[in-house]
Amino acid sequence: MRPRGLTTAAVGLLLTLAAAGCGDEAGAGDDDSGVMVDGGPGPGDGGASSDGAVAQGDASTALPGMRIGSFQLTYYWVTTEDEFTGVADTELYDPMCRSLATVPKAFSDSLRIEGTGRLADGRLLNVNGVCMCLNSPCYRVADAAHPWGYGVQNRALVPFRSIAVDRSVIPIGTPLYVAELDGKRMPGDAPWGNFTHDGCVLAVDVGGGITGMHIDFFSALKAYYRILDPLLPASITLHQGGARCP
């Protein structure tokens, strides 16, 4: 398997939110006017539907936009408490330092890296920034509008559609086309999985290890990452969405 290291939305939030305050909302007022390499400025925040998915029309034969370049590909996912054993000895807190759960340390460590995790009782926790509690970062419980967690600016993460980027290279909200994804069958069940990908993704997240020519692909679950990793190269070609991914 290709190691992810620190290429996660959670670590990026810890780095960027230490000064900003709390949560993914810290990006809501940001100017995301990044500079697109090899291709000029991107189309900004257009192209996202209310659930964060890429808006798709009858564009199966349309051409993507200008080539941006070759990017390193890594993955992130929702970690789950059920994957981990051990004594529940680590407290997780909300920003008011109220206890949300007591979990095994191994799960706490994984949650800190991935940024989003599902507790054994079914609640989905999302990193909400550094805090002054006994254990940091702090978390919030995701609502029904964010069943897979939050990207920046409260954008909903969507399996196999959301990517984390370096916003100095690709502005948040930019629709993109990944040639190597086009035609690949996504794992899982409908409505989130079990479909043939058209190559269209949306930049909705950031990560501490996501710098320069590097994207982090949201694979929903670790099991799905293990399926996709052998099918996709370590380096992918990224285009602006254009008419193919409006």
Distance, in Å, from the CA atom of 230 to the CA atom of 233, rounded to the nearest integer, reads 8
| Contact residues for 136 (Cβ-Cβ < 8 A; gap 6+) | 130
Strand partners, 76: 218
DSSP H/E element including 103: strand 99-104
Q: Where are the domains of the chain?
A: 32-76+158-240
d(C-alpha 124, C-alpha 116), whole Å: 7
Per-residue pLDDT of the chain (246 residues; tens, 9 = 90+): 333 333 333 433 333 333 333 333 323 233 343 434 333 323 333 333 333 444 444 566 799 999 999 999 999 999 999 999 999 999 999 999 999 999 999 999 999 999 999 999 999 999 999 999 999 999 999 999 999 999 999 999 999 999 999 999 999 999 999 999 999 999 999 999 999 999 999 999 998 789 999 999 999 999 999 999 999 999 999 999 999 998
Tokens (6 digits) for 176: 């993109």
79-80 and 116-118 as β-strands: parallel, antiparallel, unpaired?
parallel
Q: How many Å apart are CA 228 and CA 197, to the nearest integer?
A: 12
| H or E, element range at 10 | helix 9-20
Residue 219's contacts (CB-CB under 8 Å, 6 or more residues apart) are: 75, 76, 77, 159, 160, 225, 228
